[in-house]
Structure formats: C-alpha cells, structure tokens
Amino acid sequence: MTDGTQERINLLGLAPAEMEAFAVGLGEKPFRGRQLLTWLYKRRVADFDGMTDLGKNLRARLADIADVRMPEIVSEHVSADGTRKWLLRAGRSDGRDQAIETVFIPEMGRGTLCISSQVGCALDCSFCSTGAQGFNRNLTTAEIVGQVWLANERLGVAPDGSRAITNIVLMGMGEPLANYKNVLPAMRIFLDDRCFDLSRRRVTLSTSGLVPQIYRLAEDINVALAVSLHAPNDELRNQLVPINRRHPIAELLEACWHYLDAQNGRSITFEYVMLDGVNDQPELARQLAGLLHGYDAKVNLIPFNPFPGSDFRRSKPDVISYFRDYLNGRGVTATVRRTRGDDIDAACGQLAGRVHDRTTVRLGSKMVTIGVEA
C-alpha cells in the first residue's frame, strides 16, 4: 500500500516501451503492458475495475499505485465557426492557478487538435500572446497526452465510428523542443498503433528554431516539422523571433534540410505571420523566395491575430494575396491559413492561459540560457 505521500503514477505519461517495463516491474509479463495500452487508448477506459481481462489482484495493485489523470477543465468556449477552446488547470504556484489552453479546429474531413507543451513560453516572439505571458514550467508527458485524451472524451466518436481528432499539432503554448524530454514520448504515444495510431504526417511539431534539438529530432522520430520563420533575413528575424540571435537563418535552414534528408520527409512547412508594414513588403517576398526556391518547402502565411497590448496590425488582404502569389510564381508553394476561433481568442498566436511565478526571464528582454530538458 502507498503511505499517502508517494504520488501515483499517471499511466498517460508512459510511452509503449515504458508501459511494458512498468508491467514487468509489477511482476507481470510485458503483454500486460500492451493490454493496458489497449484499454487506455483503443477503448478509452480509465477505471481499472473496467479492465476486465486483467486479474483482480493486478487491478487492485494498479488502483493503489497508479491512475489515469487528465487535466482539469477550468472553462470551455465554442466559437461561431465550431472551434473549441479549453482552459486547463496545470497545477498551482503561490496558491494561484496555472493554466494552459488547448484548441480543437473542425474542418471538412479532418479535425485538428492544437496542444500546449509548456505553461507559457520563454522565447518571447514579439507577435505572440503566449510569449508575452512569460514562462513557468514544462508540461509533463502525461499533461501533454492528457490534452488529447480529454479532447477525445469531450468530442466523442462519430456515428460511423470515425474519430473527431485526425491531426495533432504542437502549436499551442510553449516551445516543444525546449521540453524535449516530455514531448518525445508524447509523440511516440500519438504515433504508436497501440495508442492513438496517427500517421507521422498527421502529427506536426512547430518550433521557433532550436537547432540542436532539430538535429536530435531527426535521429529520434519522424513527424511533420513546421518552423516559425516570419522573416527572410537575420536583421528582421532577430527582432521578431529572438532565438534567431543564437541560431540565425542559415544555421536553421541547414538543420531543416538535414531533418528532411534523415527522415525522408516530403517537405518542411515554414510559418510566416503577416504583419502590416513589418514583414509584408514585396522585397521581403523576393528574399523569402530566394531562400526557399529549389527546396522541399511550403510557406503558410498566417494573418496576424491581435491580442491585448500588441502594437502589430494584420496585413491587408491584398498584400497577403500578393505575397502568396509571388511565392507561388517563383516555385515556392504558399498558402494562406484561414483564421479560426478568433472570436474566442483561440486563433494562432492568441493562446495565453494563466501564467504566474514566471521563473524564467523572457529571451527578448535579456539573452538567457534556454532551459532545454534533455
């Protein structure tokens, strides 16, 4: 029996190999770990008593030392366009709630869940509401996976048995590669056919450009990679994405092409938020085309989504259209992201959550060491 002080093991934090090792540690055969995965992810059963092909003694022991714990919902909002946003409690600091945000975006034939990897973010990108909140801590693997598990429970399954969530993007609060230790096993759970069983093309990790971790990612897992570029030259990107001062564009692109080669990928998506009068001039479109022409690259142009305290404005529609058409005309595939959920502050760049006890100085105000978890 537990003594009341030992924290229970949240099984949502165990990748498939770890679940088998967990079962062996209980004196069971590895296949018991695989059975647990089936109950958790295929049948979505969180109550050990309901796992009927496990012996009674094992179920009792699991109830004593483990649980299946999802984040707690603080609030839920639904946009006029069907986008759904959850504010989820992520523990407390100094008696105050920490919270993250998770967003579901329904579209014809697909449903995308945008999940968070940190409480806040230390990278301080100037056009992002999350960065303006500062940084508190990394999410655990269980907290990352729990967002998906919880969303599946809330959204249910369609009458034909199809799942609501077809795609997962790590584009919510935080820099995923700065929480590598917990993000990697979470992605393995998303991909494993005993768990969420998603195609590698349907799991996307978005990064602001932590170059050493991109090289490491190329050795560890094959998922879709999106890079927050937002400027075609170092002078401008230094202002918009401060991590560029440490890993400039040439270094970042070299890591991206290495990732494609190592993982036999189809292309890298480069995200480019459109800021009126800042990064939307024709000359910058020419520079961007020059950077990416001839490579397996796609550009996703994102109309800026305003948030309180920001001085930026969204580029005009005709300017965005020109930027897109220019890139396409130079052989660089470019699309414009449709803004979704902006009436509930769920659009790209608007996620803020609640971040207290900001223990890390933001990168934009002072160059600091990023606390990357290995």
Q: Looking at residue 130, what is its pLDDT?
A: 65
Is there a single domain that holds both residue 155 and residue 237? yes
Contact (Cβ atoms closer than 8 angstroms) between residue 198 and residue 190:
yes
Is there a single domain that holds both residue 105 and residue 63? no
Mean pLDDT of 28-42: 96
Paired with 93 in beta bridges are 96
Decide if 85 is inside a domain: yes
The percentage of residues in the chain with a pLDDT greater than 90, rounded to a whole number, is 69
Decide if 363 is inside a domain: no
Decide if 357 is inside a domain: no
Q: Looking at residue 178, what is its pLDDT?
A: 95
Catalytic site residue 7?
no
Beta strands 167-170 and 135-138: pairing type? unpaired
Residue 358: band (very low, low, confident or very high) from pLDDT cuts 50, 70, 90: very low
Q: Is the pLDDT of residue 236 over 50?
A: yes
Decide if 43 is inside a domain: yes
Mean pLDDT of 357-367: 43
Rounded Cα distance between 288 and 280, Å, is: 11
Q: Which residue has the higher pLDDT, 74 or 265?
A: 74
Helix axes 211-220, 180-191, angle to 10 degrees: 30
Helix (H, G, I), strand (E, B) or coil at 228: strand
Nearest to 208 by CA among 122, 140, 134, 333: 122
Query: In which domain, by residue range, is 296 found?
Result: 72-344
For the chain, the average pLDDT equals 87
Is there a single domain that holds both residue 251 and residue 122? yes
pTM (predicted TM-score): 0.89
For residue 134, give both structure tokens. Answer: 């500062």
Helix axes 16-25, 30-37, angle to 10 degrees: 130
Residue 57 is part of a domain; what is its CATH number? 1.10.150.530
Residue 165 vs residues 104, 150, 155, 249, 255: alpha-carbon distances, Å: 8, 11, 8, 34, 30
Selection from 6-15, 249-258, 336-345 with the highest mean pLDDT:
249-258
Q: Is the pLDDT of residue 30 over 80?
A: yes
Rounded Cα distance between 9 and 239, Å, is: 43
For residue range 177-216, list pLDDT tens digits in order.
999 999 999 999 999 999 999 999 999 999 999 999 999 9
Decide if 267 is inside a domain: yes
Mean pLDDT of 123-144: 82
Is there a single domain that holds both residue 27 and residue 136? no
Instruction: Specify the residue for token string 């109830």.
Output: 63
Is there a single domain that holds both residue 120 and residue 62? no
**Among 20, 28, 101, 271, which one carries the catalytic annotation?**
101
**Among 125, 128, 195, 348, which one carries the catalytic annotation?**
348
Rounded Cα distance between 22 and 14, Å, is: 8
Q: Is the pLDDT of residue 362 over 60?
A: no
Q: Is the pLDDT of residue 359 over 50?
A: no
Q: Looking at residue 368, what is its pLDDT?
A: 40
Residue 175 is part of a domain; what is its CATH number? 3.20.20.70
Is there a single domain that holds both residue 28 and residue 138? no
Mean pLDDT of 75-91: 87
Is there a single domain that holds both residue 262 and residue 214? yes
Is there a single domain that holds both residue 62 and residue 169? no
Decide if 371 is inside a domain: no
Beta strands 203-207 and 167-170: pairing type? parallel
Q: Is the pLDDT of residue 366 over 90?
A: no
Catalytic site residue 348?
yes
Is there a single domain that holds both residue 149 and residue 266? yes
Instruction: Specify the residue for token string 């709630």.
Output: 97
Is there a single domain that holds both residue 18 and residue 136? no
Helix axes 16-25, 180-191, angle to 10 degrees: 90
Is there a single domain that holds both residue 115 and residue 62? no
Q: Looking at residue 158, what is its pLDDT?
A: 60
Q: Looking at residue 126, what is its pLDDT?
A: 78
- How many distinct structural domains can be found in the chain? 2
